[in-house]
Amino acid sequence: MEEDKDPYLAKWLNNDLTNDELAQFSTSEELEDYEKIVKGLEYFHAPPFDEETSLSVTLEKLQHQKKKKVIPLKPILYTISAAASILLVIGLFFNKVTHEAAYGERLAITLPDGSKADLNAGSSLSYNRFFWSQNREIDLKGEGLFTVKKGETFTVVTTAGEVEVLGTIFNVKSRDHIFEVACYEGKVKVQTSADVQEIITKGESVLLKDNSLNKVKISETQPLWKQGESLFNSIPLKEVLDELERQYNITFVRTSIDEHKLFSGGFVHNDVNLALESVLVPMNIEYIVNGKEIKLSNK
């Protein structure tokens, strides 16, 4: 029908198409445009003009518009390919580098600017792969000790709050409901997610409690976990058992004990049997060891 479409159109305008011709013409892609033109002409009153010439010009414009709507496939493929390449480059520049210390492990990390991060067991951190010097920001889950080289602002982000420094040594602990920051050198600004702020210097720490940052003096030159120890002062037994699990990659079955009891004391990180005795015996808890699983019960 493509070759003799204009005769079909003329016969259609004059209502001279046979039923078969009308059925075939109805499948034309241009039919809708032609109907709109005819509908518009019903309301159009123009000065006298050559109808055949005007219709011919109109049809020619329609054909030209239809041709312009045809978009070659290759340019589309090139555009998609270019867009995919751009997305790939963006992904490479803005994706995160993640380091994770599994249960029973510790991890020492050197950051792009030479700053150091030591992760305690069951902790992870991540940062942007590129543009580190313009945005020294770390996302931390768990606990880590940071030795920061002087330079632009260095920020550690946790779910409970942020720690901001220029160059110092500090420890950040963010686990469950615990958020604690200790400064061993320099100065640190701590800001909670509720916008509570506190500045601490060497020999000070802050602990988040009831939406307040409580400042405490410390005498240690590094966190106890770096020395292979954990120490607790009136802490719920659940948190002590959680830390034992992280340090030794073990699992407690706790259904028969009261985890809300408070514990004061500590344990070492290099002897699981001694660690278990140090925590469970004073709390009058019996335990049965079955590989990595330890079942607890009250005496």
Q: Based on the fold, state whether residues 218 and 233 are members of the same structural domain.
A: no
* pLDDT confidence band for 176 (50 / 70 / 90): confident
| Per-residue pLDDT tens over the stretch 247-276 | 999 999 999 999 999 999 999 999 999 999
Which of 64-73, 87-96, 142-151 reaches the highest mean pLDDT?
142-151
- CATH code, 165: 2.60.120.1440
d(CA 5, CA 284): 97
Domain boundary among 172, 203, 224: 224
117 and 220, same domain (yes or no) = yes
Flag whether 81 is in a domain.
no
Q: State what percent of residues in the chain have pLDDT above 70.
A: 71
Task: Note whether 143 and 203 are same-domain residues.
Answer: yes
83 occurs within a structural domain: no
Q: What is the pLDDT of residues 75-84, one digit of tens each?
A: 555 555 555 5
For 6-18, what is the mean pLDDT?
62
Quick one: average pLDDT of 192-219?
A: 94
Residues 149, 34 share a domain: no
Strands of the 285-290 sheet, one edge to the other: 251-253, 293-298, 285-290
Query: What phi and psi values does residue 29 have, to the nearest 5 degrees?
Result: -65, -25
The answer on 105 and 35 residing in a single domain is no
Is residue 41 domain-shared with residue 112, that is, in the same domain? no
Query: Which tops the pLDDT comparison, 45 or 17?
Result: 17
Q: Which of 69, 86, 104 is the C-terminal boundary of a domain?
A: 69
Higher-confidence residue of 259 and 89: namely 259
119 in Cβ contact with 109 (< 8 Å): yes
> Across the chain, what does the average pLDDT equal?
83
Q: Are residues 240 and 199 in the same domain?
A: no
**Domain of residue 250, CATH code:** 3.55.50.30
Same-domain check for residues 232 and 220: no
Q: Classify residue 82: in a domain, yes or no.
A: no
CB–CB of 17/8 below 8 Å?
yes
Q: Are 63 and 9 contained in the same domain?
A: yes
Could you give the CA distance from residue 68 to residue 256 in angstroms, rounded to a whole number?
78
Residues 114 and 218 in one domain: yes
Q: What's the domain count of the chain?
A: 3
pLDDT at 89 over 50: no
Same domain (yes/no): 220, 263: no
Contact assessment for residue 246 and residue 122, using Cβ atoms and an 8 Å cutoff: yes
Residue in the block written with tokens 């699983």: 293
Is residue 78 a part of any domain in this protein? no
DSSP of the chain: --TTHHHHHHHHHTT---HHHHHHHTT-TTHHHHHHHHHHHHT-------HHHHHHHHHHHHHHHHHHH---HHHHHHHHHHHHHHHHHHHHHHPEEEEEE-TT--EEEE-TTS-EEEEPTTEEEEEESS-GGG-EEEEEEEEEEEEPPSSS-EEEE-SSEEEEESS-EEEEEEETTEEEEEEEESEEEEEETT--EEEEETTEEEEEETTEEEEEE---SS-GGGGTEEEEEEEEHHHHHHHHHHHHT-EEE-TTS-TTSEEEEEEESS-HHHHHHHHHTTTTEEEEEETTEEEEEE-
Note the pLDDT of residue 70.
53
Angle at CA of residue 17, ends 13 and 18, nearest 5°: 165
The pLDDT value recorded for residue 267 is 97
**Please, what is the angle between helix 31-42 and helix 51-69, to 10°?**
140
Q: Which of 171, 194, 224 is the last residue of a domain?
A: 224
Quote the domain boundaries for residue 258.
228-298
Let me know if residue 63 belongs to a domain. Answer: yes
Q: Does some domain include residue 85?
A: no
Cβ atoms 266, 277 nearer than 8 A: no
218 shares its domain with 237: no
Confidence at residue 38, expressed as pLDDT on a 0 to 100 scale: 60
Residue 3: its pLDDT value, please?
A: 44
**80 inside domain:** no
Burial of 18 (0-12, 13-18, 19+ CB in 10 A): exposed
Residue at 89 is within a domain: no
